[in-house]
Amino acid sequence: MITMITQQKLLNRRTVLRGLGASLALPLMDAMLPNARAAEPAARPKRLGVFYTPNGMIMKSFTPEQAGRDYAMSPTLAPLAPYRDRFTIVTGLAHYNASALGDGPGSHGRSCGAFLTGAHPKRTEGSDLQCGISMDQIVAKQYGAATQLASLELGIEPPSLLGSCDVGYSCTYTNTLSWRSATVALPATVNPRDVFERLFGDGDALDEKSRQAQMLRKASILDFVRDDATRLSTRLGANDRRKMDEYLESIRDLERRIQKASEQSISVDASDMARPAGIPAVFEDHVRMMIDLQVLAMQTDLTRVTSFMLGREISNRSYPEIGIADSHHMLSHHGGDPEKIVKLARINQLHMQQFAYYLDRIAKTRDGEGSLLDSTLVLAGASLGEPNEHDNMNLPIIVAGGGLSGNRHIVVPKHTPMCNLMLTMLHRLDIPLDKFGDSTSTLDALTA
């Protein structure tokens, strides 16, 4: 039954489609925002997306040679060229608290822990973790009351759970970016099926027995809610009908891909217990499925805060699809070897291809008179610059969307805190903190 439609045909923000024990959230529609200006980008909900690539960057390949506008696109950034007007490169930002500060080795653990917190992670292999609340979780606390999920933390590599992953540092520091508090880290979900069921399941959704029966029939959740969707469509305006048709087709396509991945997982060697059913074997397939899930989560306003790790920090993934059988982490310690540097730069460019897909998806997903990219402020980059040096004083950072001016390369003064950028982003998201982490001011050049 369609829930809570008023006589004025306005839809409640919590409206869902129901049928045969299943429920499905709807995209955020104009009919849910009765204000006459609701379709305009400025009146839409603001969102935050974080896109993280592990093990640093070859900065010579990442950094544009020119500062300012209309810079020449660098090799690593080349995949982003179609969207250059929608993003800004910021170089020179530093995370001083990711430095050793007397703690010895462990740069990957410290840098990943500091990336969104600006805090100096406590050196420990035990459960006595200490870091800081992350920028995304400050936004989640502000926006979470308006959505079903305060935030969504995603990744593509199963977490390392035991002991230390970097010298003296718990694997928790390298598994996630998001910290709800100084002592509580939020794990990243890596299985697309788990994410799908988290987004589109609730107390009225399919129980486990029904879900298994659905999988055996290869049925779609859309089959269960088809009648309700048809009834609702007749009561929507043309723009909302088009939006819902696109949304439902995205759901069906994603379900097909998840089902295919599950079937492939069943057919692989059963001894590979590290890969849960539903995780695609091909890196790009997995990444793009997780990106599409984030887009659906934002499109339905189930959450307004997402973070996505293309790999755990210290990731040892290889990339045979681009002819690289070497471990990513080992290549990051290239020692000046030209062959290793070329391979690592190719991995960096592959990661930027995935970020380009992310930008493309949110730019093409309508949100009122604009797109999700108009209303989503995106932070992308790595927690290390030049990885061979474990450099945390010149980070590769991209800021996109959110109505900001693009086509710029901003070079900040040496040792400018990364937290200055994050404080600026928080202000842009209407969270007027005086200070975040080790910030010293806002980064006014970003909003100029």
* The pLDDT value given to residue 8: 43
Domain contains 299: no
- Cα dihedral 399, 405, 408, 413 in deg (nearest 10): -70
Residue 120's nearest CA partner among 103, 105, 137 is 103
Residue 253 lies in a domain: yes
Is residue 323 located within the same domain as residue 404?
Answer: yes
Pairwise CA distance, residues 4 & 341, whole Å? 58
Q: In the prediction, which pLDDT does 204 show?
A: 40
Do the Cβ atoms of 157 and 317 come closer than 8 Å?
Answer: yes
Domain presence at residue 32: yes
The number of distinct structural domains making up the chain is: 2
User: Is 147 domain-assigned?
Assistant: yes
Paired tokens of 239: 């723009």
- Give the strand pairing for 408-417 and 87-94: parallel
Residue 297 lies in a domain: no
Does one domain contain both 176 and 243?
no
298 occurs within a structural domain: no
Q: What's the pLDDT tens digit per position in 314-341? A: 999 999 999 999 999 999 999 999 999 9
145 and 8 in a common domain: no
Buried b (16+ CB within 10 A) or exposed e, 170-196: bbbbbbbbbbbeeeebbebbbbbbbbb
Scan for tokens 């959704």, then name that residue: 205
Question: Residue 340: which of 327, 350, 349, 331 has the closest Cα?
Answer: 331
Q: How far is CA 164 from the centre of its chain?
A: 25
pLDDT of residue 315: 95
Examine the domain organization and report whether 235 and 273 are in the same domain: yes
Do 83 and 182 share a structural domain? yes
Segments of the chain with pLDDT less than 50: 1-8, 36, 202-206, 213-217, 265-276
**Structure confidence at residue 35 (pLDDT):** 59
Query: Coil, strand, or helix at residue 217?
Result: helix
Measure the CA–CA gap between 419 and 440, rounded to whole angstroms.
8
The pLDDT value recorded for residue 350 is 98
Domain stops at, among 278, 313, 337: 278
Question: Do 246 and 113 share a domain, yes or no?
Answer: no
Does residue 151 sit in the same domain as residue 250? Answer: no
Residues 322 and 384 grouped into a single domain: yes
Structure tokens at 54: 């592990």
Give the pLDDT score at 63: 98
pLDDT at 25: 77
Angle between helix 418-428 and helix 135-143 axes, rounded to 10 deg = 10
In a domain, 300, yes or no: no
Confidence (pLDDT) at 61: 98
In order of 234, 244, 247, 440, the CA distances from 237 in angstroms are 8, 11, 15, 49
Residue 50 one-letter amino acid: V
Give the CATH number, domain containing residue 131: 3.40.720
Q: Is 336 in the same domain as 399?
A: yes
Residue 99: CB atoms within 10 Å: 17
Same domain assignment for residues 1 and 84:
no
* Same-domain check for residues 245 and 154: no
In angstroms, the CA 440 to CA 303 distance is: 30
Full residue range of the structural domain in which residue 405 is found:
46-190+283-289+305-447
- 26-77 pLDDT, tens digit per residue, is 777 777 765 545 556 566 899 999 999 999 999 999 999 999 999 999 999 9
**Tell me, what's the pLDDT at 256?**
79
Check the CA dihedral 153-155-160-166 and report its sign. negative
Tokens of 177: 């970016």
Position 252 in a domain: yes
Q: Do 322 and 179 belong together in one domain?
A: yes
Two structure tokens written together for 276: 């849960």
Report pTM: 0.85
